[in-house]
Structure 1
Amino acid sequence: MTEKRKLTLKDIAKELNISVSTASRALKSHPDISEETIRMVKEFAEKHNYVPNALAVNFRKNKTYNIGLIVPELVHHFFSTVISGAINAAKKRRYNVLVSQSNDILEDEITACRTMLASSVDGLLISISNETLEGEHIKTLIEEGKPVIQFDKISDLIDTPKVIVDDFEGAYKAVSHLIDQGYKKIAHIRGRLEVKNANERARGYKKALEDRGLEFDPEWVKVCSLINEQEGYDFAKELLEGKNPPDAIFCITDLVALGVLKFLKEKAVPIPEEMGVLGFSNWKLAEIVHPGLSSVDQHGYFMGETAANMLISILENEKELVNETLEIKTDLIIRDSTLKNPSIC
């Protein structure tokens, strides 16, 4: 027997002149095996650093104890917290998480889903790309018997359980705060028209204005396609140079809001005295940037934990696979970028 390769059950059986099944049962202290044989096998296994072949064991169980996780971006603060929550929840239940990103591109998402299927994951967690609509590639996983949980960015055309935040309420609270601080002309740099969570945030924005009897100007709504800092900068420029400039801007994400802040600083526009800025996601950068950026906290870590636990409960037959939606409430984090009247908050 060579020590250069991994020791197998067959090696143990051969060296001790016993059957493979006896060696296997001895390692598990099976009652049908004598104490002497159990001791002999375990001592030999320990001496030669035997490690059980988990893949073979899991194959017999028709499980890999791996779950897939696909997000639009790995470096995005919100999704990185989701990933951390999912990994920690899975680890507690002895599952591994295989992570991939779609780059918010449909073709990359299709490739990631195919890779997950080829890797024999037991199930999948996914936040869909901005380009995903009907999701036939996701339906293929479901047809192959792999349960799927959608989270954050979802499609109602894909019949799966879902974990989302209350985007409508989060936006409504954000815009209501701006109104309470004395802002009267509030713009919205929103997400893409075909993305559900972007539509919910836009709906919350309009409803808050409507309920408080404030003006709504369609020119104050700008639609992002890339959802990045540059778009925030460019749209802030358009808004302030327009015929009816706003006095506050509610942004689809903190990244877009950072672009707005950059433009306002370049133009020496006082924040929050003359212009309020409010984001969504509560990135770590929102605390560090000056002035501190008010934002809506989506609780990404808790979302990741919740989605992973839901999937594993389905895999362990603790929970039925039904098309249900679990909604997580948001928190408004108020910082200096909107605190025009500190006594009112």
Structure 2
Amino acid sequence: MARVKKVSMQDIADRLQISKNAVSLALMDKKGVSEEMKIRIIQTAKEMGYGPYGKKQVDHPNLLVVVPDRITSYDDNDHFHFYHDMIWGLESSIRRSGYNAIIVRVDQAMEKDLILPGLFEDIKYKGVILFGIMEKAYARMIWKLDTPLVMLDSYYRDLPCPAVTSANMEGAYQAVEHLIGRGHTRIGFIGPTNLTTSHEERWYGYWRAMQQSGIKIEEKWCLTSSSGFDSTWQEISTFLDRMDELPTAFFCGNDRIALLLSETLQKRGIQLPSDVSIIGFDDLNMSEASNPPLTTMRVNKTGMCNAAVEMLISQQNSSREAVRWSISPLLVERSSTAAI
């Protein structure tokens, strides 16, 4: 039997009577072609069945799990284990559902240059789970594909599609309510709301708890933006340097920030929790072993993985509706918080 010839970019260019370079720019979502032409090129790619834009067999047993390389190569070993657990939790959940999990890593060069892994073209698959914090342009490129898609752990509001997250707002509200219940009214917040929807939602949970308790939020005790994920330690130090007085407690957008804050404060002679209480979010492995052990909101990783797989395999088409499934975290009280 003769092998079916794969559709190429040149085939698309020939049909539209344009250059191959124009096709490449459009499919990689780069500048150089008009928005109208970009739409025509993408539509033609779908019609001709080009690579990842071709129709997929909805009953095919493969599910692609797309993972940015940064979360599998954290210098922070405990963050590596957190995401490693999530990835293998996905693999296990997918297998139990009768599908094959294909883990697809995207390195920084591919992410920057908007290059899809070859597996998108080389194998047939039912759908894609986009896991972790992917650059928006890259997430948009996958979002544009004619395939079922679920975003897990993080998402973009202007890329509507099914998404599974921890119940960030509700969990943050519970964490701050815990501090308020222990007598704290001077409560700060640290979390890069400009970088992820997770931190944005946790900030809102903090704000809601403070507002409903009639407690004023002091801007000088809140650090809500960051220049990047690798600059948190220096930014925390600078943030603390600007304070003339400390709050009695901090709610942090994740455990990594909480542990960095704990270490920085103790180096400055601040006693925890007698001087300052700290509560985080995630429950990393090292949080229990830290000094003092960290009070935190434990993310239900298994529940999130199961929900993502269920949402994906239940899709009958390429849904681009903003459906959210939030999985409740659990408050784990340890000795980094105390009553005042």
Common fold by TM > 0.5: yes
Residues 122 and 116 from structure 1, CA distance in 2 versus in 1: closer, same or farther, beyond 3 angstroms? farther
- Whether the 8 Å CA contact 2:127–2:312 is kept in 1: the answer is yes
**Match for residue 226 of structure 1?**
228
RMSD across aligned positions (CA): 3.0
Aligned to 2:279: 278
CA 219–165 in structure 1, closer or farther in 2 if over 3 Å, else same: same
Task: Give the Cα separation in 1 of the matches to 2:222 and 2:110.
Answer: 26
**What is the deviation of 1:79?**
2.5
Show structure 2 runs of 5+ residues with no match. 1-55
* Alignment partners' CA distance in 2, 1:104 and 1:190: 24
CA offsets, 1:82-126, max 9 Å, x none?
Answer: 212211111123322222445789925943x44442243331101
Q: 1:172 to 1:102 in 2, by over 3 A?
A: farther
- The alpha-carbon deviation at position 171 of structure 1 amounts to 0.7
Within-5 A mapping of 1:186-201: 186-193=187-194, 195-201=196-202
Segment of structure 1 superposing worse, 123-132 or 160-169: 123-132
The verdict on how the C-alpha distance between 1:227 and 1:329 changes in structure 2, with shifts beyond 3 A counting, is same
Q: How far off its partner does 1:246 sit?
A: 1.6
Identity of aligned residues (%): 24
Q: What is the CA–CA distance in structure 2 between the aligned matches of 1:204 and 1:127, rounded to whole Å? A: 23
Per-residue Cα deviation, 1:21-58 (whole angstroms, up to 9, x for no partner): xxxxxxxxxxxxxxxxxxxxxxxxxxxxxxxxxxxxxx
CA distance in 1, matches of 2:137, 2:252: 24
- Superposed displacement of residue 202, structure 1: 0.7
AA partner of residue 283 (structure 1) = L
TM-score, L = length of structure 2: 0.71
The offset of 1:197, in angstroms, is 1.9
Q: What is aligned with 1:238?
A: 239
Q: Give yes or no for the alignment of 1:69 onto 2:65.
A: yes
What residue is the counterpart of 2:22 in the other structure?
none
| Alignment CA distance shift 1:308-1:104 (3 Å) | farther
Q: Is the 8 A contact 2:57 2:126 kept in 1?
A: no
- TM-fit CA distance, 1:270: 1.4
Shift of 1:152: 1.6
* Unmatched runs of 5 consecutive residues or more in structure 1: 1-59
Aligned letter for 2:120?
A: L
Alignment partner of 1:335 is 2:334: yes
For 1:275-309, what per-residue CA distance to the aligned partner results, in whole angstroms no more than 9, with x for missing partners? 11111111111111121101111211221122123
Q: CA deviation digits over 1:133-156, x for unaligned, max 9? A: 694312332x2xx21111221112
Q: Equivalent residue for 2:121? A: 118
**Counterpart residue identity of residue 331, structure 2:** L
Q: How does 1:198-213 map to 2 (within 5 A)?
A: 198-213=199-214
Matched position secondary structure for 2:66: strand
Cα distance in 1, alignment partners of residues 164 and 319 from structure 2? 14
1:140 aligns with 2:137: no
Per-residue deviation at 1:260? 0.9
Gap change, CA 1:256 and 1:90, over 3 Å in 2: same
Structure 2 Cα separation of the partners of residues 200 and 294 of structure 1: 19
| 8 Å Cα contact 1:233/1:256 also seen in 2 | no
The 1:81/1:177 distance shift into structure 2, 3 A limit, reads same
Q: Which amino acid is the alignment partner of residue 132 of structure 1?
A: K
Find the aligned partners of 1:325 and 1:175 in 2 and give their Cα distance. 23
CA contact (8 A) 2:104 2:117 kept: no
- TM-aligned CA deviation for residue 274 of structure 1: 0.7
Q: Deviations over 1:251-283 (max 9, x none)?
A: 111111111111122223211111111111111
Q: Cα distance 1:61–1:239, how it changes in 2: closer, same or farther (>3 A)?
A: closer
CA contact (8 A) 2:148 2:318 kept: no
* Residue of structure 2 in register with 1:88 after alignment: 92
Amino acid in structure 2 at the alignment position of 1:299: N
TM-score (ref. length: structure 1): 0.70
Provide the C-alpha distance between the structure 2 equivalents of 1:250 and 1:109, rounded to a whole number of angstroms: 37
Q: Which amino acid aligns with 2:338?
A: L
Considering only CA atoms, is the larger Rg found in Structure 1 or Structure 2? 1
In the other structure, the counterpart of 1:21 is none
SS at structure 1 position matched to 2:136: coil
**The 10-residue stretch of structure 1 (117-126 or 203-212) with the greater mean CA deviation from structure 2:** 117-126
Q: Compare 102-111 and 203-212 and name the one that shifted more.
A: 102-111
Q: Deviations over 1:177-202 (max 9, x none)?
A: 11222222211111242532221111
Q: Could you tell me which residue of structure 1 aligns to residue 169 of structure 2? A: 168
Deviation for aligned residue 1:160: 1.8
In structure 2, do the counterparts of structure 1 residues 186 and 115 end up closer, same or farther at CA, with 3 Å as the change threshold? farther
